């Protein structure tokens, strides 16, 4: 690793993955990585995404919400000096992009974590439309054509799947998607034969080839 310049002790982090109930039994001793001794941490950052030791992405949601609210406060301080289109552009560039960055990792997360990100989106909609905190945000989001956070996550997954199916995405994504479809097809064939109770059953057609 050192010869290939893949190891930087100043930027190397180590953490142990375990469920929330077993966090107390994971080792806390330092780990030897090359010539350096690295102490385990509770969360690491990889390509802009914070991953917790219990894989709940709580740290990622907290940091994202904090950064978004900081940007909203800064925009609010100059809101009166900006026209409507400039204000909307700033919110999209400094807040909405942070919410959408790597949001596919939030699939299956707890509802209260998605609610924290939804509160950011609600605050941004009120800021753009100059509404009070008590104003209901559903019509504001509809007017701005902004999807709610759970739907934004599903939309991102659909876009990734579309690029994989039509070979317009990254190569590693297409390879992973083909492997997953192959595994699902094999499982579907096995369950179909088991349902026949030993009789000869016609194979049910699987998903279209990628």
- Do 142 and 64 have their domain in common? yes
- Assess contact for 57 and 51: CB atoms under 8 A: yes
Domain boundary residue, one of 149, 169, 186: 149
- Do 34 and 99 have their domain in common? no
pLDDT tens by residue, 143-173:
999 999 999 999 988 888 888 777 777 777 7
Q: Please give the structure tokens belonging to residue 39.
A: 């102490």
Within 10 angstroms of residue 102's Cβ, the number of other Cβ atoms is: 16
Task: Specify the pTM.
Answer: 0.72
**DSSP state, residue 205:** P
Q: Residue 143: inside a domain, yes or no?
A: yes
Residue 22, domain extent: 1-41
**Is residue 149 classed exposed, middle or buried when 0-12, 13-18 and 19+ CB atoms within 10 A define those classes?**
buried
> Which of these, 169, 123, 162, 163, lies nearest to 146 by C-alpha position?
123
> Which of these, 173, 176, 205, 175, lies nearest to 192 by C-alpha position?
205
Q: How far apart are CA 193 and CA 187, in angstroms?
A: 10
121 — pLDDT class (breaks 50, 70, 90): very high
pLDDT of residue 201: 40
- Do 37 and 66 have their domain in common? no
Q: Residue 180: inside a domain, yes or no?
A: no
What's the Cα-to-Cα distance from 180 to each of 11, 38, 107, 193, 208, rounded to whole Å? 33, 35, 17, 20, 13
Within 10 angstroms of residue 57's Cβ, the number of other Cβ atoms is: 21
Q: Residue 61: inside a domain, yes or no?
A: yes
3-state secondary structure of 82: coil
Q: Residue 106: inside a domain, yes or no?
A: yes
pLDDT of residue 123: 94
Of the two residues 52 and 199, the one the predictor is more confident about is: 52
Within 10 angstroms of residue 71's Cβ, the number of other Cβ atoms is: 19
- Do 24 and 100 have their domain in common? no
- Assess contact for 14 and 38: CB atoms under 8 A: yes
Percent of the chain exceeding pLDDT 70 equals: 80
pLDDT of residue 78: 92
Question: How many domains are contained in the chain?
Answer: 2
Q: Residue 159: inside a domain, yes or no?
A: no
Domain boundary residue, one of 133, 149, 165: 149
Return mean pLDDT, the chain: 79
Q: How far apart are CA 156 and CA 61, in angstroms?
A: 17
């Amino acid at each position: 690793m050192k010869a290939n310049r893949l190891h930087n002790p100043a930027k190397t982090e180590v953490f142990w993955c375990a469920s929330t109930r077993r966090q107390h039994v994971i080792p806390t001793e330092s780990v030897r990585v090359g010539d350096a001794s690295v102490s385990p941490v509770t969360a690491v950052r990889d390509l802009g995404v914070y991953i917790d030791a219990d894989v709940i992405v709580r740290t990622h949601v907290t940091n994202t919400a904090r950064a978004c609210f900081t940007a909203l406060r800064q925009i609010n301080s100059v809101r009166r000096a900006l026209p409507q289109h400039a204000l909307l552009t700033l919110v999209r560039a400094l807040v909405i992009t942070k919410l959408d960055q790597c949001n596919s990792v939030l699939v299956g997360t707890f509802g209260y974590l998605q609610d924290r990100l939804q509160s950011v989106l609600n605050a941004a909609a009120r800021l753009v439309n100059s509404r009070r905190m008590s104003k209901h945000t559903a019509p504001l989001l509809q007017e701005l054509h902004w999807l709610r956070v759970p739907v934004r996550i599903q939309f991102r997954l659909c876009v990734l799947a579309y690029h994989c199916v039509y070979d317009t995405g990254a190569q590693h994504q297409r390879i992973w998607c083909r492997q997953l479809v192959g595994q699902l097809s094999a499982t579907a064939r096995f369950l179909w034969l088991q349902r026949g109770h030993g009789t000869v059953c016609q194979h049910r057609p699987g998903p279209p080839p990628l």
